[in-house]
């Protein structure tokens, strides 16, 4: 799986093979609806403004 990203849960550290599995986990296990996920560092955000600020501050995007 060279070059394949895994997605980590920020709350418990579990790893998932794709984004959809991570989002389902977050909603079902942590009762949190994660909408925005940074694929660069796997951090997740509940709203677009927090996600955009993260991208600007941390990834210069």
Q: Quote the pTM value.
A: 0.47
> What DSSP line would sit under 2-57, residue for residue?
TT---EE-TTT--EESSHHHHHHHHHHHS-----EE-TTT--EESSHHHHHHHHHH
**Segments forming the whole domain that contains residue 50:** 7-59
Cα 24 → chain centroid: 11
Distance between CA atoms of residues 4 and 30, nearest Å:
25
Which structure tokens are listed for 18?
A: 């794709």
Q: What is the pLDDT along the chain (61 residues), one digit of tens a residue?
A: 455 668 888 888 889 999 889 888 887 787 656 678 888 998 888 888 889 999 999 999 8
What's the domain count of the chain? 1
In a domain, 1, yes or no: no
Distance between CA atoms of residues 35 and 47, nearest Å:
7
Q: Return the CATH number at 39.
A: 3.30.160
């Amino acid at each position: 799986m060279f070059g394949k990203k895994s997605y980590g849960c920020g709350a418990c550290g579990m790893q998932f093979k794709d984004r959809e599995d991570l989002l389902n986990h977050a909603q079902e296990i942590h009762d949190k609806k994660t909408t925005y996920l940074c694929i660069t560092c796997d951090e997740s955000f509940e709203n677009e403004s927090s996600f955009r600020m993260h991208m600007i501050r941390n990834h210069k995007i």
